[in-house]
Amino acid sequence: MEMGIASASGVTMREHGLEAPLPGGRTGYFNFYWLRDNCPTSFDSETRERTFDIFRLVREPRPASANIAGDALEITWLEDGHISRYPLEWLSQYSEGRRRSDPADLPRRAWYADHYPDIARFAQPRLMVDRKQVVKWVEALLVEGVAILTDMPDSDEALTATVRLIGHVRPTFFGEYFDVKTHVNPTNLAYTAKALELHTDTPAEEMAPGVQFLHCRANSVEGCMSLFLDGVAVANDLRKEFPEAFKLLSETLIPYYCEHDSYDMRSRQRVIELDEHGEVCGVTISQHMADIFDLPQTFLDHYYPAFCRFGRMLQSDKYLMRFRLNAAECIVFDNHRIVHGRAAYSATSGERYLRGCYADRGEMRSAYRALTTTGRFK
Ligand SMILES: [Fe+2]
């Protein structure tokens, strides 16, 4: 076909691609490599994987002919005579280079100190048998970053089975599960459990775990309050009120560490994380795992005031949700978004036992897509 001249059906050849008329009267440009690579026959219907090998082409693929046939673009390729048919509706999704829409890319809803009564709650036994409930649960985790599961069976297996609804248990450098146990000796009246500073978990990992599960197996200790806050709410307010501080915290990589005899974990993270749209998607904060800042001292003249301003905002009553996690509850939250800790408490009797683990956020989103949409191949 001649370059630059429209065929009878309106297809115009260009140097490295063609222009085709699309539904709605638009014209779209498509690259020849892209067209050849994405011929519907390139994909195996059983495995749903691409089986065509674009790397074996010795030169740029070129059409011998290209026409509109019905509601499709039909190309006969010069090299091997292969015929490709592309529905125009399908082509128009890719004509502007827009990212494929993602059902798991839901807008976040920031929450504040008064969120406790409104936290999405799901009875775990029902979750195990009702996929619609699983969808709502993941939606809460994507939109608000937190949910509470109730009526959890008092067993290790229940936690694992719950995680398996949205992925796999994701190990960290200290293993697959962790146990937080406090025994309060009734004879020791002076017992005081120290406050646990506000943090996100294991920032020293290159990829800190995405979803955290904390299964409360026992809590007979009085006055032990959990502290949770939405890092997105705080970072959004910082952005509005102190844009310079926000810029520093969302652009600067700072070092985190976790070191002992047999390990030396190190990573660099931004305190405020932005998503592909430039929106705040989370925070990474941990004073006990922040390494000594190895940045130019004159830069720290600017960074430290911003860092401390944000740290003080995190502790503000506007954001801090205080509540008691009860036995048979499991709080599930986005470890890159929800900052958590524990208020100091003193008690004379009781036992507190939390068993925790993590799952991957990518796997959670995958589960959500699979439960809510048909994908490209169904
Ligand atoms: Fe933690």
What are the pLDDT digits (tens) for 66-92? 999 999 999 999 999 999 999 999 999
83 alpha carbon to ligand 1 midpoint, in Å?
57
230 alpha carbon to ligand 1 midpoint, in Å?
14
For 21, left (φ over 0), alpha (ψ -120 to 50), or beta?
Answer: beta
Q: How far is CA 132 from CA 90, 135, 161, 290, 371, in A?
A: 29, 5, 17, 40, 8
199 alpha carbon to ligand 1 midpoint, in Å?
6
Question: Which residues 6+ apart lie within 8 Å of 266 measured at CB?
Answer: 204, 255, 256, 257, 291
What DSSP state is assigned to residue 257? E
39 alpha carbon to ligand 1 midpoint, in Å?
48
194 alpha carbon to ligand 1 midpoint, in Å?
14
70 alpha carbon to ligand 1 midpoint, in Å?
59
- Contact assessment for residue 19 and residue 12, using Cβ atoms and an 8 Å cutoff: yes
Burial 52-74 (b: 16+ CB within 10 A, else e): beeeebeeebbbeebbbeeebbb
Name residue, tokens 């309106």: 10
Query: pLDDT tens digits for 324-346?
Result: 999 999 999 999 999 999 887 76
Query: pLDDT tens digits for 345-373?
Result: 766 678 889 999 999 999 999 999 999 99
356 alpha carbon to ligand 1 midpoint, in Å?
9
Query: pLDDT tens digits for 258-273?
Result: 999 999 999 999 999 9
200 alpha carbon to ligand 1 midpoint, in Å?
6
Helix, strand and coil percent figures for the chain, each rounded to 5: 25, 30, 40
156 alpha carbon to ligand 1 midpoint, in Å?
19
Which ranges of the chain have pLDDT less than 70? 1-2, 5, 8, 185-195, 346-348, 378
pLDDT at 110 (0 to 100): 98
202 alpha carbon to ligand 1 midpoint, in Å?
8
| Residue 113 to residue 264: CA distance in whole angstroms | 36
